[in-house]
Amino acid sequence: MTPETREFQLSIGPRIGQVSAVLHRPVDSQWLLVLGHGAGAGMRHHFLESLSAALAAVRIATLRYEFPYMEQGRKRPDVPPVLEATVRAAVAAGGLLAEGLPLLAGGKSMGGRMTSRAQAARPLHGVVGLVLVGFPLHPVGAPGTERADHLADGHVPMLFLQGTRDRLADPRLLAPVLDRLGARATLAEFRDADHDFALPVRSGWTREEACRWLAEQAARWAEGVAPARFDRAQPIDSKQDSR
C-alpha cells in the first residue's frame, strides 16, 4: 500500500514562527524517525526524498522538516539555539504523530549534528536513539574532533552512517571518537561514498541503491534498539557485499 504523506506547518515558537514539515508513513510502520536536513539543501532535496522512500520500504516512517533559514529562503544557517529549538519542536510533533511507535531522531549532516547537540543539552522527550547520516565531524580541509565533544552527553544509542570518502569526517579521526562512546555508538561505513553518498561510476551503485543500503542499516540497528512489534517482511534486495 502507498505510504501516507501529510504536509503541515510546524510551530517553533512565537519568536521563530513556523516551518514546513512532511510526514511519510507506511501503513506497517515500526518506527518513526524525525529527520533534519543538511546545511545546503532542504527537506525536499532529492537525497532526503530518496532516503525517506527507502526508509518507508523497511517500515521506518519519517518526519522531515525545514529549518527556519531554509524556510525563509536564506543561505546562511540559523544560530545553533534556533536550530536546536527547531529540532525540539519537530521531535515533539513526532512524538504525537508516532502513535506509540518508537521514536528516533537525527538527520543528514548538520541536521544530525544539531539533533545530537539538542539531545546532549537536554534529552529529547521520547527519543530512544539517534540516526546520524554523514555526521560532519569537521569542516573540509580543517580536520579535528571538537564537533563531537558533545556526543559523550547523548546517553542514547547512536547510529553513524558514513561514507569512507567523506571530506567532512576523516575515518581515522572518527574511529577513536566512536570508540570512546563504547556500545552506544554503531558505525556503518559505505565504501567509496562521499559526504552526500555519491559513488564513483565504477562502483556500479546508483544513489537510490545507496539510500536503500542506508535504510537497511538503519532498520537493522533500530531492531536492536526498539524491536519491531511483529516480524518484518523480507527486506528489499540491495547489493549486499562488504560495504
CA quadruple 8, 209, 161, 39: dihedral sign: negative
**Is 98 part of any domain?**
yes
**Is 243 part of any domain?**
no
Domain count, the chain: 1
What percent of the chain stands above pLDDT 90? 87
**Residue 235's pLDDT band (boundaries 50, 70, 90)?**
very low
Query: Hey, which residues does 105 pair with through a beta bridge?
Result: 34, 130
**Is 239 part of any domain?**
no
Determine the structural domain holding residue 98 and report its residue range. Answer: 4-225
Q: Name which of 78, 60, 58 is nearest 68 in CA terms.
A: 78
pLDDT in tens, 25-72: 999 999 999 999 999 999 999 999 999 999 999 999 999 999 999 999
- CA 84 vs CA 112, 119, 142, 232: distances in Å: 11, 9, 24, 33
Q: Name which of 94, 71, 68 is nearest 15 in CA terms.
A: 68
Nearest-angstrom CA–CA distance, 30 and 42: 25
Q: 91: domain CATH number?
A: 3.40.50.1820
Query: Hey, which residues does 7 pair with through a beta bridge?
Result: 22
**Is 233 part of any domain?**
no
**Is 152 part of any domain?**
yes
* Predicted model pTM: 0.92
pLDDT in tens, 178-231: 999 999 999 999 999 999 999 998 888 988 999 999 999 999 999 999 987 754
Q: Residue 15: CB partners within 8 Å, gap ≥ 6?
A: none
Q: Are 156 and 119 in contact (CB under 8 A)?
A: yes
Pull the grid cell for residue 185.
Answer: 555508538
**Residue 3's pLDDT band (boundaries 50, 70, 90)?**
confident
Three-class SS state of 236: coil
**Is 238 part of any domain?**
no
**Is 242 part of any domain?**
no
